[in-house]
Amino acid sequence: MSPMITSILILSLATGTIITLASFHWLLAWMGLELNTLAILPIISKSHHPRATEASTKYFLTQAAASALILFSSVMNAQATGQWGILQLEDPLAQTLLTMALAMKLGLAPAHFWLPEVLQGTSFKTGLIIITWQKLAPMALLLLTWNQASMLTLTMMGSLSVIVGGLGGLNQTQLRKIIAFSSIAHLGWMATIITKSNKLALLNLTMYILISTPMMLSLIFSSTKTTQDLTTSAPSPILAPLT
């Protein structure tokens, strides 16, 4: 992929996220999410490997279904209330559907199956974008509608995500899958915390990004892909038994 095309795709990623963050209308927020999804697909499949193509297909299908559900819930809310504002989500069914759609975009359980498979089929650089930057737009919508979202749905999905993320990463040897299950568990804690305080959830998201970024960068620079690679890339033999 040429540097110009890569720059355009990265710029489109940033633009889509900024549009969603700055929007107060559901159609603009949906447009930003769609731009985000379409920009990341060529980045995922740029290696032309069958696993990368499979990962991009799974990512596209999941994100397209979640975006369609967001659009459907916003139309349902507009039909019931006559309002298209993000902060005017008043229809109970639309609140539940929107919560489920944002949870699907983030990778909360039980709609978490796509995240480990997508991360396993991509490079660490693309995986870093997926677990950090791609979480900003749907998480921002969740933070904006935290007092109008379905608290029961968020609590149940968040608690299930913590359990699934904690248990799913125990028997893995691939670091990308371990990171994916770790992301699911952290997102579960964010979803649970957001029912009590959106500021604490934002702090949790910030800390997660600040911790995940240097960890992923260290794995990229050391070309480490499995837990066995950690033993050879460790600076001291003492760390080898710990892995």
**How far, in whole angstroms, is CA 98 from its chain's centroid?**
15
What is the pLDDT of the chain when averaged over all its residues? 87
Round to whole Å and give the CA distance between 162 and 164: 6
Round to whole Å and give the CA distance between 158 and 151: 10
CB contact at 8 A, 79 and 69? no
The string of pLDDT tens digits covering residues 92-141 is 888 889 889 999 999 898 888 899 999 988 988 999 999 999 999 999 99
Confidence of residue 209 (pLDDT cuts 50, 70, 90): very high
3-state secondary structure of 215: helix
- Predicted confidence at residue 60, as pLDDT, reads 93
Cα dist from 78 to 84, 90, 145, 200, whole Å: 6, 9, 15, 30
The string of pLDDT tens digits covering residues 36-53 is 999 999 999 888 788 889
Kindly list the domain boundaries of the chain, sorted by start residue: 3-232
Nearest to 137 by CA among 102, 112, 99: 102
Across the chain, which distance is largest between two alpha carbons, in Å?
65
Q: What is the pTM of this model?
A: 0.87
3-state secondary structure of 243: coil
CB contact at 8 A, 183 and 107? yes
Q: Which two tokens stand for residue 210?
A: 């600040």
Cα dist from 66 to 49, 62, 148, 231, whole Å: 26, 6, 19, 40
